Structure formats: structure tokens, C-alpha cells
Chain A
Amino acid sequence: AQSVTQLGSHVSVSEGALVLLRCNYSSSVPPYLFWYVQYPNQGLQLLLKYTSAATLVKGINGFEAEFKKSETSFHLTKPSAHMSDAAEYFCAVSEGGTASKLTFGTGTRLQVTL
């Protein structure tokens, strides 16, 4: 069975500082991995995804994530936080197959301070 663990339900960074949001996964097959962002009162928007091509994946808004099989991790980073990055971030895993479901982590709320 697939599962995702996100360490840290709340992360606070200063504007301009490095953002690091942690995600570890469990999967019985090579996984597909996703990061979604949710702004208040909105749906989920895809930031980036890993689908077994390059292990370093670049996404929208300057975010990137690195797939590390040995660590079963897919941490999300951004070199310099912006106030507009404040949101809830969800890591998700899929094992593929027909109409493959996403299994989400519990989410990390990112706060960006001046």
C-alpha cells in the first residue's frame, strides 16, 4: 500500500529564506510523486511531479524537488521564499495503473514572514 509522511505540519520562514518542506513516501512499486499547493478557499494546484525521468524536478513558481530512492524522499525546496508562497502544501503518491488514485500526506502549512 502506498503512503506519504510529511514532517512538520507548520513551517515558518522569513521572506527571502530557503523553503524546505519534507516528504517521505512508501510504495510497493516505483512511484509517481506529486506536490500540490492549496491557497485559502481554493482547490489543489499541481506544483510539480516526478514520473521516473529526471530525479530533480522543476515546477512552477520557482519550486523544485529531488527524488531520492535510497531515502524514499521527495522534499520540496525553493531558494528564496516570497510572501505569496504562504499556503498549504501537499505531497502525494500514486502507484500507477488504471485510474490510479492519489494518496496524500497530511499537508504542511507554510508561513512567510517579513
Chain B
Amino acid sequence: EPEVTQTPSHQVTQMGQEVILRCVPISNHLYFYWYRQILGQKVEFLVSFYNNEISEKSEIFDDQFSVERPDGSNFTLKIRSTKLEDSAMYFCASSESSGGYEQYFGPGTRLTVT
């Protein structure tokens, strides 16, 4: 069964460093998303991406964040200058279409900022 994959599974970085989280969505999917989950809190939407551009972003997704689909398979989330409060589990998701279509989630990348 096709699945969303994410690398790395765990990343430790120092405050102020740049990190890139990588995702490979399901191949025929057209809509891509990033969510994050701070330990003990709910899953929060960061950004959605369709047709090579951002469709919607949350207030969390400020100028420190960017997304890119550099080729036909990868979808990346970049944090330019990490803060302690960026420590969280980051989930990538993809869906075949929008609306009531299921979003398939990857296993997540745990980001720890020290």
C-alpha cells in the first residue's frame, strides 16, 4: 500500500540553525500539507500546497518557514533559524484531492531544538 515517508525520523539542532524536513508524498497525490504537534498538545495545521504554490498557511507559518517541491517526488519544509519553541513532531500529509478526501499522514519527524 502506498504511504507517505518522512526523513529524518529525529533531528536535533541548535537554536538559530536551519533545518530541512523532507517528505515523499504518495505519487499520484496533488495536495500536500505540513502539520506539527508540540509534545502533549494537539496537531496544528501549518501550510497547504497545491499546484506548486501555497494554498493556505496558518499564523504559525511565519517568514522563518518555507516549503518547496523541488522535484516530482519530494516536499520539504525549511525552518531558517530555529527557536526552542519549534521543538515538535512535524507531520507531512498528502491527498488525492481536496474537500472530503482523506489526508494520508507520514510517520513524522521529531525536531528537537537545543
Q: Which residues of A contact B (CB under 8 A)?
A: 32, 34, 36, 42-46, 49, 51-52, 90, 92, 94, 96-107
Contacts and interface: CB of A to CB of B under 8 A. Distances in A.
Interface stretch (B68-76, B79-87, B97-105): B97-105
Contact of B103 (A52, A97, A102, A103): A102
B106 A43 contact: yes
Contacts of A92: 43
Contact of B100 (A42, A45, A96, A105): A96
B98 A98 contact: yes
Given A43-B108, A99-B33, A104 B99 contact: no
A99 B67 CA distance: 15
A98 B97 CA distance: 9
Contact of B43 (A51, A90, A100): A90
Interface residues of B, number: 27
A9 to B, nearest CB: 10
Nearest to A4: B42
A57 B100 CA distance: 14
A52 B100 contact: yes
Contacts of A101: 33, 45, 48, 56, 58
A43 B48 contact: no
Contacts of B18: none
Given A44-B105, A99-B31, A99-B33, A94 B99 contact: yes
A105 B44 CA distance: 9
A96 B41 CA distance: 24
B99 A100 contact: yes
B42 A99 contact: no
Nearest to B54: A99
B114 interface: no
Contacts of A49: 100, 102
